[in-house]
């Protein structure tokens, strides 16, 4: 059992700025954005509610078409893994940088904000492991209050 390990991150938060997509020399899309998560608690001594925001650096591979949807303030759910890299800055000092490499991403919010809410938006690596359901188009607003009968159900 000592040989097992887990590197799994699950986050639900808001984008701190619009996602930025760049391409590697080999042509692979590399999308990055900061994600804010909040923690709220009641201080035991003062009785006041306190809040703390944690910022996470997110890296998403092969998803160049997502940059149009990953906008500042949007809420997302993501799963991925932690990765720490290092480099030398201009003064020769070693700098460490930790980020979340995202495997699965779900755009959240109301229907009026963005298309296909709640549908997984995944990198090719994770879509191979499970089938993706295609999203049905949203019904027009005037059709939402109509009754459904047996003829409307496709099975």
CB atoms within 10 A of CB 80: 23
Question: Is residue 2 situated within a structural domain?
Answer: no
Question: Is residue 83 situated within a structural domain?
Answer: yes
3-state helix, strand, coil in the chain (%, to 5): 10, 45, 45
Question: Is residue 19 situated within a structural domain?
Answer: yes
Supply the CATH number for residue 34's domain: 2.40.50.140
pLDDT digits (tens, 9 = 90+) for 75-124: 999 999 999 999 999 999 999 999 999 999 999 975 445 444 444 444 44
Q: What is the pTM of this model?
A: 0.65
pLDDT digits (tens, 9 = 90+) for 119-149: 444 444 443 333 344 444 444 444 444 454 5
- For residue 44, give its domain range: 9-152
Dihedral in degrees, nearest 10, Cα atoms 80, 84, 87, 88? 140
Question: Is residue 105 situated within a structural domain?
Answer: yes
Q: What's phi and psi for 150, nearest 5 deg?
A: -60, -30
Look at the chain and report how many structural domains it folds into. Answer: 1
């Amino acid at each position: 059992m000592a040989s097992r390990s887990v590197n799994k991150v699950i986050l639900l938060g808001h984008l701190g700025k619009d996602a930025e997509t760049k391409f590697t020399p080999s042509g692979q899309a590399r999308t990055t954005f900061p994600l804010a998560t909040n923690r709220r608690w009641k201080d035991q001594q003062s009785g006041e509610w306190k809040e703390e925001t944690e910022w996470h650096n997110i890296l998403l591979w092969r998803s160049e078409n997502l940059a149009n949807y990953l906008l500042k303030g949007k809420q997302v759910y993501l799963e991925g893994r932690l990765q720490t890299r290092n480099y030398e800055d201009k003064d020769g000092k070693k700098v460490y940088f930790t980020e979340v490499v995202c495997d699965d991403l779900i755009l959240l919010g109301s229907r009026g904000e963005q298309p296909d809410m709640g549908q997984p938006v995944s990198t090719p690596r994770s879509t191979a492991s499970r089938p993706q359901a295609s999203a049905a188009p949203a019904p027009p607003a005037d059709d939402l209050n109509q009754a459904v009968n047996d003829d409307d159900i496709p099975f």
